[in-house]
């Protein structure tokens, strides 16, 4: 078995008396979409925050390509190649698509125009933005200079996913990317997620939408009461099996025997 790209071992995080994650494990393999499902409060967000540097776990270990990493903040996780799109979309509505793609990573002009006057290399950013969007087949966004506030929810998500795919060199983490979307837009974002995987970036997808999970996930990590209780696949278990394990109505598979 090859080493997982990203692993969590026994991660724990407490908030006072509340145990948000309780010795949770996670394994993300190369080339896969790993869905993380669980009831409200199961610790999905906390787990993902730990993996993306937004939360420092009390104990446990995170391994990237088999090597221990200790992220103190989201920037360090991004620098290590883990790109996360949160539920609350971090897009800036007033800025255009290209600017959003490069938010926090603006490219300056070369020479004193860039270093002294901090001038942005707009044309380069536009060209790069267009290349990334085209690569991911987001054909509907013709005008890279269009303000993001004029885009639909699905198109905004597409920009956020494209951004994570453009900059994530090892892992892309998506927190409820289809939550607020209509059927058509949701499907488009699902296709985008497959494209990201097929281009070689493994994806962690947190979602409450079971049909979406079953449509795209290669494996499904079930989180319950702060820890991983099972890993199943859409082929091994039905949607109702998954929900039963998630809610505790059925025992996890290894205990079922
Ligand atoms: N900053 C915080 N302060 C206090 N308690 C927190 C904090 N963040 C999370 N918790 C608690 O930790 C537990 C796990 O929360 P978390 O958000 O990780 O779950 P979740 O599975 O993502 O839930 P949901 O599906 O509702 O988003 C919950 O009981 C929650 O109330």
User: How far is Cα 196 from Cα 8, in angstroms, rounded to an integer?
Assistant: 22
**Among 45, 51, 84, which is best to mutate for testing ligand 1, by the most ligand atoms less than 8 A from CB?**
45
pLDDT in tens, 14-47: 999 999 999 999 999 999 999 999 999 999 999 9
Summarize pLDDT for 131-148 with one digit per residue, the tens.
777 766 665 555 666 676
Q: ipTM exceeding 0.90?
A: yes
- Other beta carbons within 10 Å of 18: 11
DSSP category for residue 120: B
Residue 94 has pLDDT above 90, yes or no: no
Ligand 1 lining (C-beta closer than 6 Å) = 15, 18, 20, 38, 40-46
Averaged pLDDT for residues 3-24: 96
Q: Let me know how many helices (H) and strands (E) the chain has, helices first.
A: 10, 10
**Two structure tokens written together for 149:** 């506030």
pLDDT tens digits, residue range 56-76? 999 999 999 999 999 999 889
pLDDT at residue number 15: 94
Mean pLDDT of 227-234: 96
Between 110 and 60, name the one with better pLDDT: 60
6-256 carries CATH number 3.40.50.2000: no
In this predicted model, which residue has the larger pLDDT, 50 or 1?
A: 50
DSSP state of 37: E
> What is the sign of the dihedral through the CA atoms of 188, 164, 51 and 68?
positive
Query: In sequence order, what are the residues at sequence separation of 6 or more whose Cβ sits closer than 8 angstroms to the Cβ of residue 109?
Result: 119, 120, 121
Secondary structure (3-state) at 163: helix
């Amino acid at each position: 078995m090859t080493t997982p790209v990203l692993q969590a071992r026994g991660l724990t995080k407490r908030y006072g008396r509340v145990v948000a994650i309780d010795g949770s494990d996670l394994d993300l393999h190369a080339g896969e979409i790993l869905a993380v499902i669980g009831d409200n409060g199961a610790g999905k967000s906390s787990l993902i925050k730990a993996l993306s540097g937004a939360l420092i776990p009390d104990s446990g270990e995170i391994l990237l390509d088999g090597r221990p990493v200790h992220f103190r903040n989201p920037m360090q996780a991004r620098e290590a190649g883990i790109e996360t799109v949160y539920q609350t979309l971090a897009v800036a509505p007033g800025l255009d698509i290209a600017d959003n793609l490069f938010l926090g990573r603006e490219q300056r002009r070369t020479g004193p125009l860039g270093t002294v006057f901090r001038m942005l290399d707009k044309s380069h950013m536009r060209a790069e933005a267009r290349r990334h969007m085209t690569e991911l087949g987001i054909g509907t966004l013709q005008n890279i200079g269009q303000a993001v506030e004029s885009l639909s929810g699905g198109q905004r998500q597409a920009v956020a996913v494209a951004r994570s795919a453009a900059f994530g060199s090892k892992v892309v983490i998506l927190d409820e990317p289809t939550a607020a979307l209509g059927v058509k837009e949701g499907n488009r974002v699902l296709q985008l997620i497959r494209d990201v995987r097929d281009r070689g970036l493994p994806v962690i997808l947190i979602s409450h939408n079971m049909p979406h999970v079953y449509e795209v996930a290669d494996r499904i990590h079930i989180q319950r009461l702060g820890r991983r209780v099972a890993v199943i696949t859409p082929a091994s278990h039905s949607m109702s099996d998954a929900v039963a394990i998630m809610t505790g109505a059925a025992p996890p598979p290894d205990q079922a025997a």
